[in-house]
Structure 1
Amino acid sequence: MMCEICGAEEGQIKYTKVINGEKVEFFICRNCAKEKGFQTPDAVSAEGRREEEKIQRDAVCAMCGWKLTDVEKKGKFGCANCYEVFRPYIRNLLNKLHGKAKHKGKVPILDEKKLLIRKRIREVKEELDVAIKKEQYQLAAKLRDRIETLSLKMEESDE
């Protein structure tokens, strides 16, 4: 879709505006967005990175006194507290290296069933706690029985 302002370039930015209670969408190019004073996604993320880098560069671990430059030079942290102090740096580094900061490994098929049962047991236990607090004892008894049934299923899957 072409830019709805200049018509010369590809409209890469979707601009949404509410006019008289109706949502109106425009597609504009980066040049027109800059001319109109809109903050482009690139500008927002670059500004955030600059601010984050400034905070990280000034950070000093209160426990061991290490700075980010020490961590970068030595390739390791000075103490356990450094992981908290330099968390944004670690997150950025992991995002650059792996494309994400959170590890989501594969779960073997056999264990996936167990994980689902464990998750359901946790959910039912939470429901049980709420039922007891509300003094809904009949519901609580049913939930207790459900937990026992799920626990048996868990034991069966171990065998």
Structure 2
Amino acid sequence: MKCDICKKQEATVFIKQVINGVAKKLHACHACAREHGFDSTLPLPLLKDLLFGEAAPAPRRAAREKTCPACGMKASEFRKTSLLGCPACYDVFAEEAATYLESIPECPGHVGKVPVKERAAAELARLQKSLQEAVDAQNFEEAARLRDRIRLLRGPARREAAGGEQARRENPIGDGVR
């Protein structure tokens, strides 16, 4: 996403302010954010002139800051660290946490390691779909290749099942003697 100010650089800073239920957003590159007075060590109100003009109402501070009765964590601490202190904080700071979560861009999906069984199952499903497409297109050489790969993936489970069946055929009484 491009910077809303210079419209040239990629935006690396996202600012969202809600005043009287109206949300205003700004995407800025690092240079423009710094040029307009936003520094990660400075509070957000320094950008109010850039974002909302001089007539923007100053946000009201609550007379008493929310504090978790269980661990003593304050709302300002949560806003600073984005971490909650204890299970009770989830109830106390529910509104702040919801606002924070809404500001995070959506994650495209899991990016960590995938368990081996799930990876094999996904590969098997992909191969079966490709096999069906090859058969539908009457590409039988490709279908045979895919069938063989599917058999290789299913191999260990099939061999165990077949081995158990073979043992039952050899010893139908099941007395443990082979």
TM-score computed with the length of structure 1 as normaliser: 0.35
The structure whose Rg is larger is: 2
Q: Which has the higher contact order (CA 8 A, sep 6+)?
A: 1
